[in-house]
Amino acid sequence: MARFILLLVLLVSCSESVKIPIVVKEKNIEPIHVKKNSLPPLQIVEKKIVKAPKPEPPREPQSKINMSWPAKGTISSGYGKRHGKMHHGIDITRDNGKNVFAAYPGIIQFSGKNGSLGRMIIIDHGNGIKTFYAHCSKLFAMKNSKVRKGQLIAKMGSSGKSFGVHLHFEIRIKGNSENPLKYLPLR
């Protein structure tokens, strides 16, 4: 629901000089002096309706795990139910390049082909936290190697069951999928 601010400045005639306070955007300004019989009985000098900006939708609070974005594209498909099935991650487009980066430091648990997810990498970050990077065209990080946050690990692709070049990115904590947006900074 939009909020509106209505700004009216009313001037009235009177028998004596009076002070009329003016309110602009909910802040008081010095009153003005109106002299005797200087104006018609009632006049609207200015009427302006200002539409307040639409509030941002509520977002789940960000986690203490401070991950970075694994790719520079935009989200083409979000986390949650999609076509009646659960989509356990987010899909990121290639509009800003095909590079895929480690979102958090860890050790490569898997680097290879995995059925419908195609070429993918799984990074184990410890404490039951893992990130998945799927549908890649090229994999640069090898199994058991250490990676740092922001390190190039793959190139986006369309391998596996995919309908175009993108990155499928998942976060799993103790085996359960989580919405990646809870762990990524706003951008």
Q: Per residue in 60-75, pLDDT tens?
A: 545 577 899 999 888 8
**Does some domain include residue 66?**
no
Q: What is the pLDDT averaged over residues 113-138?
A: 95
Please give the residue range of the domain that contains residue 13: 4-51
**Does some domain include residue 59?**
no
Q: Are residues 96 and 158 in the same domain?
A: yes
Q: How many domains in the chain?
A: 2
Q: Are residues 174 and 91 in the same domain?
A: yes
Q: Are residues 38 and 100 in the same domain?
A: no
Q: Is residue 2 within 8 Å of 52, Cβ to Cβ? A: yes
Length of the chain: 187
| pLDDT, position 146 | 97
**Does some domain include residue 44?**
yes
75-79, 106-110, 180-184: segment of lowest average pLDDT: 75-79
Pairing of strands 4-12, 42-51: antiparallel
**Does some domain include residue 126?**
yes
**Does some domain include residue 68?**
no
**Does some domain include residue 65?**
no
| pLDDT, position 120 | 96
* Sign of the alpha-carbon dihedral angle for 14, 16, 17, 23: negative
Q: Is residue 180 within 8 Å of 171, Cβ to Cβ? A: yes
Q: What is the pLDDT averaged over residues 107-130?
A: 95
Q: Are residues 148 and 104 in the same domain?
A: yes
Q: Is 180 exposed, middle or buried (0-12, 13-18, 19+ CB in 10 A)?
A: buried
**Does some domain include residue 149?**
yes
Q: Are residues 39 and 93 in the same domain?
A: no
Q: Are residues 79 and 164 in the same domain?
A: yes
Name the band, by pLDDT with cuts 50, 70 and 90, for residue 50.
Answer: low
> Domain of 140: which CATH number?
2.70.70.10
| pLDDT, position 171 | 94
Q: Are residues 31 and 123 in the same domain?
A: no
pLDDT at 31 over 50: yes
| pLDDT, position 4 | 38
CA distance 90 to 167: 8
Q: Are residues 36 and 81 in the same domain?
A: no
**Does some domain include residue 167?**
yes
Q: What is the pLDDT averaged over residues 10-38?
A: 49
Q: Are residues 174 and 118 in the same domain?
A: yes
Q: Are residues 15 and 91 in the same domain?
A: no
Pairing of strands 119-126, 129-139: antiparallel
Q: Are residues 103 and 178 in the same domain?
A: yes
